[in-house]
Amino acid sequence: MILGNIKSLYKDIFKSYDSPTLEKHIEKIVELDVYLPHSSTFFCITNTQELGFEYISKNMFSCLHIDPLKLKQEAMRYYWSRIHPEDVEYWLQALNALMEYTLDEISEDERHKMSYTWNYRFKNGRDEYVNIIQNTTPLEFDSFKKPIIGLAHYTVVDSRVKLGVTATAKYLNENDEYETKYFNNFSQKLLTNDITNRERDIIRLLVLNYSSKEIGIKLNISPNTVDTHRRNILKKLNITSTGELIGMLKMNKTLF
């Protein structure tokens, strides 16, 4: 996928209508960054409206060996160019899914309590790919309560650790604990080609909380046949219970 297409899709995902105010956030974060120790994580203030980085923490160079001035000047286009080509499409799908979930499922006055995590492979300054796990918390919203400014934390993980491209949305509840509201694995479908069409029919009805007897009536097969299909499904997916399967599917809208 060429950079022009990435820019177009990215801007469409984060399209907004206001000019954000960043000064107070940058001032506080710069003050904090002075005292933070070096580590395998760094953070940035991301401006999705301007496609830029308003601030890049001092740990970025030690994590990625990339000139922070170059990153600041060439901004997100340069950053995108270093994402592994096989991950770009999944990464964009993840961002779009998280935005759609937020706008459709989270009320405007609750969106400041959300936190989002996704990952991808990234080529560092030594031309070696590493895993980046990015967690972004919204700082500012436009007039339609669409998040446009974020505090992004990046954790660098060795490329030998195999990670699928996933996305997670978490909500800070009344107990000040983050609970997962959305999860999706974009680089690997749970329901593989090994799952037959009949098994897919049964899975869809299981997600709707139908019993084996009710599924049998709807599909004109016996409850015993339904149970046989259920056991085969669990075996193929290497999971232990129908409840586990249903839970995974209900949290993930694109598995089948």
Where residue 160 sits, what CATH number does that domain have?
3.30.450.20
Total number of residues shown for the chain:
256
Please state the domain count of the chain: 2
The stretch 135-158 carries a mean pLDDT of 92
Asked if residue 137 and residue 46 are part of one domain, the reply reads yes
Asked if residue 202 and residue 85 are part of one domain, the reply reads no
pTM: 0.73
Q: CA 72, CA 207: separation in Å to the nearest integer? A: 46
Helices (H), 67-211: 68-81, 85-105, 197-207
Domain range spanning residue 43?
3-185
Q: 69, 42, 61: which is closest to 124 by C-alpha?
A: 61
When pLDDT is cut at 50, 70 and 90, the band that residue 189 belongs to is low
Residue 125: pLDDT over 60: yes
Where residue 244 sits, what CATH number does that domain have?
1.10.10.10
pLDDT one-digit tens code per residue, 58-80 = 999 999 999 999 999 999 999 99
Asked if residue 229 and residue 151 are part of one domain, the reply reads no
When pLDDT is cut at 50, 70 and 90, the band that residue 202 belongs to is confident
Query: Rounded mean pLDDT of the chain?
Result: 88
pLDDT one-digit tens code per residue, 17-30 = 887 777 877 888 88
Q: Are 169 and 114 in contact (CB under 8 A)?
A: yes
Q: CA 49, CA 34: separation in Å to the nearest integer? A: 27
Asked if residue 124 and residue 46 are part of one domain, the reply reads yes
pLDDT one-digit tens code per residue, 205-240 = 887 888 999 999 989 999 999 999 999 988 887 778
